[in-house]
Structure 1
Amino acid sequence: MNPLPVVVIGAGPIGLAAAAELRERGLPPLVFECGSTAGAAISEWNHVRLFSRWSELVSPAARRLLEQNGWRSPDAETYPTGRQWRDLYLGPLASALGDAIQFDTEVIGVARRGRDLVVDAGRDTEPLSIHLRHRDGTEDRVFAQAVVDASGTWGTPNPLGGEGLPALGEGAVGTAIRYRVPDLDDPAVRAQFAGKHTVIAGSGHSALTAIVALSGLAEQAPSTRIIWAVRRGNVGSAFGGGEADELPARGALGLRAKKAVEDGLLRVVTGFRTAEVTTTPSGQLVLASDAGDRIENVDNVITLTGFRPDLSWLSEIRLGLDPVLQAPVELAPLIDPNVHSCGTVYPHGAKELRHPEPGVYLAGMKSYGRAPTFLAMTGYEQVRSIAAELAGDHDAAARVELILPETGVCGGAGVFDEADADAADTGETEAGCCGAPTPELITLSAPSGNTCG
């Protein structure tokens, strides 16, 4: 199978880094991207500024390839927007990789040639079969010696519903519920939020970004109302490590969100796990929890509750996934938010990412399954190790070549809405070790009767 290419799925930052690593190792990469350009998913959040510097956003192998083509890196200490990351780095990188990338080509299935999931024979000798659908609707397949799935999770956001399924009625309200940070620099989008009542659901960095953006709008349009609805019992650690964060811009984001709360630009509702969404005769929304609490007269909901991997087109591949996180079984304990939330993950590579199916790797955000807080540097280290493994350089594959920055946030309660047991015993909150203050909270009392909305 050596003459066959290594198929990389996705032409985002991690997929293109994988292609650069493979080419440097003398392995022929073949990248399939369902979008029309490199970083197609990033184009949907062009307006968002990253909290990683340029020095942390360029893959080492990609840099070497680009510099051979005369590329000059942006200022290493500045923070790009999504658009800048795409235009100044991913676009030139895709051009440098040339015909190794096929755009407008969707991977609709991966299997072992001539075998379905049940058949044992030939799984280590037959090539992988990648089924494709092109933009014009035609389908074909190619064979590969290995597959690196770096397709990400952007296309499968988690729902508003607190059970992992859409809340009752969630799918019937149309664009009133969004699953992305809105671009308030767009006048049409801005008009949909100015003077309106918006609920932000979620407690990760995307939610903090939305809080900062909407709070700025509320200062200019005082009739704008914002509620931050979180499933946790407190939000102390959601603000991050502040000045203790080793990524300063990430820490600053949390501090700005915290200040918005302290300044009264939004209200916080904790322990709210949405069970049902209904629409009033006036067209506004009502969110209801299983506890009977309600958030009423809502015009917009920004749901930023994380993402999950789409595994549907890998159904004929033997994957070894953790049943909780849907991440590779050896990686899952390192990133499980139910166990820790310190934000630092031991660098890992081919060993932790391999599956029972020979030659198959999930890399990048998709390798994290449902776990949050993924850094581009993590993905670059993953694909460096995978390329070394596929090239037979097992020593390089096992070698750690990265130290990840810590968030400065410590705790053990993870994503659920209870404080860590040890912290409760000592009278500390989840944010106790890092000193992130708890904002003033409001409580929504349950109305009499069952309102279902």
Structure 2
Amino acid sequence: MKRDLSAHPTAILGAGPVGLAAAAHLAARGLPFLVFESGARIAEHFESTRHVALFSPWRYNIDKAARALLTAEGWLEPELDKLPTCGEVIDEYLRPLSQLPAIAPFVRLEHRVVHVARAGFDKLKTAGREHAPFLIRVTTADGTRDVLASAVIDATGTWSTPNPLGANGLPAEGEREHAAHFAYGMPDVLGTQRARYAGKRVLVAGAGHSAIGTLIALTKLAEEAQGTEVHWALRGHNFERILGGGSNDGLPARGALGARVKNLRDTGRLHVHADFKISAVRSGAHGFTIEGMKNESARYAVHDIEEVIVATGARPDFSLASELRVKLDPWIESTEALAPLIDPNVHSCGTVRPHGHRELAHPEKGYYALGAKSYGRATNFLMATGFEQARSVVAAIAGDMAAADDVQLELPETGVCSTQWSEDSSACCTKAAKVEPAPKSSCCGGPPVKRADACCVKDEVAKDSGASGCGCGPAKTRETGEKASTL
């Protein structure tokens, strides 16, 4: 028997930037919703990075539906070309958004969603499943209760499940035993955590923007606090790829991060440990020793480390959806349709192909993971991507398929292809070392126009002509089931 799901709200899990954007789109369409936030305030995970300056200006950090609702209530938008901190995004945008009359009554703080299922159906049962409402099990200060929902937008992110220090994806031996001296993500080393790191030998692990931003902050601390020593552990050695596109980057502040940390490396203010695959943390006479392999074959160790900051990214936790029919790509852990568009082993330039409800859909009809969680273990996520995801998915929930399918996403390029720089080559195309680098405004011609299996325009043109590709990407595509070979 088909049930009328319109009697139930859409459940939004997480009151961060993408979750609140989804709420704004639902409110704009007059659709009922509830937002469940595990923290005592909105954007609890985002709050932990309030000290961090974003490299994307305000224009990329404000959802269109949210802007319309805010403006109608007299909100004045900030200067669009200014670079905000995470704290400013919360204070000047997210909190006012959450307090709007169209949203505030439907936000439930300190409501932790622990399970999502289909009411009356376990994972095995199929017949009639899509007509049953979702059952959202929530824990609160007053106990556990179940809430029914017509659809689920999971915007819980990945911040609470950081990747470990160990190079093989598992915690390094001794990592948990030394947990008191480990921090994950981007601690406020120049502010609230200053006393913890001042005068210490600190090792930062990771090669992304979080690691680079933390290294820059620590070297500033070292200038102010005598005895502070900064070590940088990274698993690769190709700094051209790691440090990014510099002045070619469509977001100048993002490009400047790489340039600044390159200067710190070149002037000796960073102790760099490249090609270091960490496997163990051991107690020593003065602090502890970080052990692993160097260049895949030689034992290597960094001694007398007192604090470790692990900035190696994060991964999604789908345990709350264990009773749903969720289908994930085996290594990216996004949906299978989205994975080819974001796989860092394959794609270039940091520019993501437009994608919406179709790429985000799971076999469990009505369940969508949005935001950073939708990217699985891939790290090239920007808020603007999540806003367009929310717009498309809400349109699909509303039954407006024309709007849902009209996905448009314009993101600034990084100025460097992720597959452009192999660990052994500095050529733009790894199989054609004599090819000149692409113009400043475009990497290997820019992102592909229509092919999900292409890494750039050059690759797309080559494949359209029947060739295997231009050489920018891996020798074998994702469809072969093999990983890319250029990283």
Q: How many Å apart are 1:413 and its aligned residue? A: 7.1
Q: Which residues of 2 match residues 62-101 of structure 1 at below 5 A?
A: 62-96=66-100, 97-101=103-107
Structure 1 residue 283: Cα displacement: 3.3
- 1:411 Cα deviation from its structure 2 partner: 3.8
* SS across alignment from 1:131: strand
- CA gap 1:413/1:134 in 2 versus in 1, 3 angstroms: farther
Query: What is aligned with 1:325?
Result: 332
Q: 1:398 aligns with which of 405, 424, 428?
A: 405
Output the amino acid matched with 1:179. Y
Which runs of structure 2 are paired with 1:92-111 in the superposition (5 Å)?
92-96=96-100, 97-111=103-117
Determine the structure 2 residue equivalent to 1:119.
125
Percent identity reads 44
Q: Which residue of 1 aligns with 2:42?
A: 38
Equivalent of residue 170 in structure 2, options 142, 165, 168: 165
Matched ranges for 1:228-267 at <5 A: 228-267=232-271
Contact 1:167 1:275 in 2 (8 A): yes
Within 2, Cα distance between the matches of 1:280 and 1:395? 63
C-alpha contact (below 8 Å) 1:154/1:307 kept by paired residues: yes
- In structure 2, distance between residues paired with 1:186 and 1:308: 27
Contact 2:190 2:218 in 1 (8 A): no
Provide the rounded CA distance (Å) in 2 between the counterparts of 1:398 and 1:84.
Answer: 33
1:6 to partner: Cα distance? 0.6
- Aligned residue for 1:385, secondary structure, equals helix
In the TM superposition, residue 241 of structure 1 has moved relative to its aligned partner by 0.9
**Map 1:21-420 → 2, pairs under 5 A:** 21-96=25-100, 97-136=103-142, 138-186=143-191, 189-221=193-225, 223-289=227-293, 291=297, 292-412=299-419
CA distance in 2 between counterparts of 1:341 and 1:277 reads 35
Deviations 1:92-136 (A, max 9, x none): 111111111100000000001111111112211111111110134
Please say if residues 350 and 397 of structure 1, whose CA atoms lie closer than 8 Å, have aligned partners that are also in contact. Answer: yes
Q: CA deviation at 1:3?
A: 2.0
The CA deviation at 1:26 is 2.0
- Aligned counterparts of 1:255 and 1:307: Cα–Cα separation in 2: 25
**C-alpha separation in 1, matches of 2:280 and 2:148:** 46
CA contact (8 A) 2:428 2:438 kept: no
Matched position secondary structure for 1:7: strand
Cα distance in 2, alignment partners of residues 399 and 185 from structure 1:
44
For 1:68 and 1:338, the matched residues in 2 are separated by 44
Deviation string, structure 1 residues 73-98 (Cα, Å, up to 9, x no partner):
11111111111111111111111111
The CA distance in 2 between the partners of 1:284 and 1:163, in whole Å, is: 21
Structure 1 pair 432/216, CA: closer, same or farther in 2 (3 Å)? Answer: farther
5+ unaligned residues in a row in structure 1: which ranges? 436-453
Separation in structure 2 between the aligned mates of residue 432 and residue 234 of structure 1, nearest angstrom? 16
Unpaired stretches in structure 2, ≥5 consecutive residues: 441-487
Q: Measure, in 1, the Cα distance between the counterparts of 2:420 and 2:206.
A: 16
Separation in structure 2 between the aligned mates of residue 281 and residue 104 of structure 1, nearest angstrom: 43
Aligned-pair CA distance for 1:380: 0.2
Name the structure 2 match of 1:2: 6
Higher mean C-alpha displacement, 311-320 vs 253-262: 253-262
Q: Which secondary structure state, in structure 2, belongs to the residue aligned with residue 255 of structure 1?
A: helix
**Which residue in 1 is equivalent to 2:459?**
none
Structure 2 distance, partners of 1:367, 1:425, is: 32
How many Å apart are 1:267 and its aligned residue?
2.3
| Cα distance in 1, alignment partners of residues 229 and 431 from structure 2 | 37
SS in 2 for 1:371: coil
Q: Which moved more, 1:218-227 or 1:417-426?
A: 417-426
Contact kept, 8 Å, 1:233 with 1:418, in 2: the verdict is no
TM-score (ref. length: structure 1): 0.90
With over 3 angstroms needed to count, the CA separation of the structure-2 counterparts of 1:28 and 1:330, relative to structure 1, is same
Render the CA deviation track for 1:300-331: whole Å, top value 9, x for unaligned. Answer: 11100000001111100001210101101100
Q: Is the 8 A contact 2:345 2:418 kept in 1?
A: no
Superposition CA RMSD, Å: 2.1
d(CA) in 1 for partners of 2:77, 2:65: 13
How far the C-alpha of 1:215 sits from its partner, in A, is 1.5
> Which protein has greater RCO, CA pairs closer than 8 Å, 6+ apart?
1
